[in-house]
A and B are shown apart, each in its own frame.
Chain A
Amino acid sequence: MTAHLLFDRIDEPGLNTLKVYEQRGGYSALRKAFAVPQNAIVEEISASGLRGRGGAGFKMGQKASFLPKGEMAKYLVCNADESEPGTFKDRELMQKCPHMLIEGIIITTFATGIHHAFIYIRGEYELQADILEAAIAEAQAAGFIGENILGSGHSLKLVLHRGAGAYICGEETGLLDSLEGKRGNPRLKPPFPAIEGLYAGPTLVNNVETLATVPTIINMGGAEYAKIGTEGSTGTKLISVSGDVQRPGNYEIVLGTSSREIIYGLCGGPKPGREVKMWFPGGSSSPVLLAQDLDLAYDFDTLAKAGSMLGSGAIIVVDDSHSAFEVAQKLVKFYAHESCGKCVPCREGTNWTHKMLARIEAGEATPMDLDIMASVQTQIIGNCLCVLGDAMAMPVGSIVAKFRDELEAEIDAASERANTVPVAPIQDAIPVGAR
């Protein structure tokens, strides 16, 4: 089943300009939104059942309703940091249809009484940042951003902020610290950003795709939007498919589509002669699934029930030409590099897991190291301020559990290669007290 709300003819030339976007009916949702009371818009978004598209899947309507009402310094921050490995959907959206995001931001700020919004884009997305900057200037010149927009009484200041390369800044509180001009260290929650966020003011943090969906919801009506997809996961989702598939790229699917239909139908599956060995359903931070899980419906609840998660909607397919060890090593190196170092379990856990894998490679490990590695993962989960550590622990824990035989074989093969005896012979050990 397909439906195209965000990606419909997105390649149309010039869609990044206001002229073409308006020809296609752009900014009509904004006019419609200005004609109804503010709380009706939040209700409409709640009725749509829209869940956050950034990773956590929290209901957007509910998040917006947590913000205190009334006039005060409140902020909207659009999270365009998109640094989860395997995720590249927001990049396509911002590059090709930036006004959809801007319109979503204007509607959301009107609905929640916010007058100051930021888009935090990762520093590597230079082309997309330039396009967004030009689009914001165009929208400003046309009177969609500024004082008393279209005579509605709503005013908005929108600033594009470029990051400088740090995975942790995709985490909402790390992003807020970074936006305040600090190192991007996550904060203790609660208080949640909706109560105390940017500059200690109530702050709504939403992903690019979530905000870009808002104009569609206003145009269609929340109830109509909720009819698409499944009961717990409404609407369409942009997914980024990469790795060992023949047609990688961004697709828009209806939530609840079978995963096999996505990986084999849309993306052509792995190269001829190869089989799916494992796949990450929601970015490199999600626990891996196997070929036998390919018939799972791709939605938030089904994947959670299967022990994984939909995350950012980034499917990474690994075929049988790669070893599980190689995948684990790549993952761990990334998280060890990106850990900000604030919480001990994450800083030490990611680095020691990296060293334990290096031990396996050097042929110095024993199967007991796998048990230690697995226990490190369980001790990281839930014990840090943010989920970066969990984001390593979940996939690595699942790889150790699901590919244990293969990893043990790798330990044996590596020690044979290195020609080392994994355990020191008993007679060489110095008895306690003789030191």
Chain B
Amino acid sequence: MSYFDKRPPVKRYEHGSRVPGWDEAVDLTKPPATVPDPALTPVPEELRAKIEAAMALYPDPKSASIPALHLAQKHHGWCSPEAITQVACVMRLTPAYLTSVASFYDMFALQPKPKNDVYVCTNISCSLLGADEFYEHMCAAVEGHDDIGVRGFECLGACEIGPMASVNGEYVGPLNLDDAKLIVEDLEAGRSVLEHKQLRNRAVADPAGRVADWTGIDPVGQEG
């Protein structure tokens, strides 16, 4: 079970529709939040500077909402109401607008999440090669490690190393079932994860592109 499955399920009536009040993000007894008042909203200086720098890159500063949410998530660990209010304060947007954006994208967490992210690709190419089984092993391997969150993810764009996973952004593969334990060990020890299986060191498959003798890197699991 991943931490996503552990969340309390939405309460439903017997016939299937949701019991009112299932959506915790909205408290209808309060007036809707407006653009936060800078005088009343403390924003960490470093975060503010980074968001403002991102806003300066675009003709319309609103374009920076995704980069700003990335920054806030990095700073706070997840897109907490506090984090969203701070971004809203700097960008002069409503928290509701930013929540609507954050809830659209898979990489933003609107619930507290563990520090380490393990995205296991369970899309078509990887699942043909056994990704679903690996995902179950990975979920089992992190039992008791509350700082690692495992998530089945859609195609991560590295099908040649399937089954693969993105561990805190580092692509590793092809994975076998024993690697699940090694990933947990590496994360707990604070090491670089599965170094011999990292995509960054892998040679291109096309022989004309490969310069194996210059790099001295043995392509992982590759023939020819």
Which residues does A use to contact B, with CB under 8 Å? Answer: 2, 4, 7-13, 73, 82-88, 91-92, 95-96, 116, 122-127, 159, 161-167, 178-184, 199, 240-244, 246-252, 266-268, 284, 314, 316, 318, 322, 327, 330-331, 334, 337-338, 340
Contacts and interface: CB of A to CB of B under 8 A. Distances in A.
Given A123-B70, A124-B157, A161-B66, A11 B210 contact: yes
B123 A184 contact: no
Nearest to A15: B211
Contact of A180 (B60, B105, B200): B60
A182 B64 CA distance: 10
B69 A250 contact: no
Given A85-B123, A244-B128, A248-B160, 9 more contacts: A7-B204, A10-B204, A124-B119, A127-B171, A164-B70, A182-B65, A242-B162, A250-B209, A334-B155
B224 A322 contact: no
Given A123-B107, A164-B106, A165-B107, A252 B209 contact: yes
A335 B22 CA distance: 25
Interface residues of B, number: 55
B59 interface: yes
24 contacts: A4-B206, A12-B211, A84-B155, A85-B124, A85-B155, A88-B159, A122-B157, A124-B169, A161-B63, A162-B66, A162-B70, A163-B105, A164-B69, A164-B106, A165-B107, A166-B106, A181-B66, A247-B224, A248-B160, A284-B124, A316-B128, A334-B124, A334-B155, A340-B104
Q: Which of A122, A165, A241 has the most CB of B within 10 A?
A: A165
Interface string B149-174: 00001111111101000100111000
Contacts of A162: 66-67, 70
B173 to A, nearest CB: 11
A330 B128 CA distance: 10
A164 B108 contact: yes
Nearest to A90: B157
Given A11-B210, A83-B155, A167-B154, A318 B128 contact: yes
Contacts of B155: 83-87, 284, 334
Interface in B102-126: 104-108, 119, 123-125
A159 B54 CA distance: 10
Contact of A11 (B57, B123, B204): B204
Nearest to B67: A162
Contacts of B29: none
Given A13-B215, A161-B66, A164-B66, A247 B159 contact: no
Nearest to A4: B208
A74 B208 CA distance: 38
Interface string B201-224: 001111011111011000000111
Nearest to A10: B209
Contacts of A243: 124-125, 128-129, 159, 162
A346 to B, nearest CB: 15
A272 to B, nearest CB: 13
A250 B157 contact: no
B166 A183 contact: no
B105 A166 contact: yes
Contacts of A126: 169
B169 A178 contact: no
Contacts of A9: 208-209, 211
Nearest to A267: B205
A127 B159 contact: no
A302 B72 CA distance: 49
A116 B58 CA distance: 9
Given A96-B204, A252-B208, A330-B127, A85 B154 contact: yes
B101 interface: yes
A342 to B, nearest CB: 11
Contact of B104 (A4, A183, A284): A183
Contacts of A340: 104
Contacts of A327: 124
B18 interface: no
Contact of B209 (A7, A73, A91, A338): A7
A334 B62 contact: no
B100 interface: yes
Q: Which 4 A-B pairs have the closest CB atoms?
A: A249-B205, A242-B159, A165-B106, A164-B105
Given A161-B66, A164-B66, A86 B209 contact: no
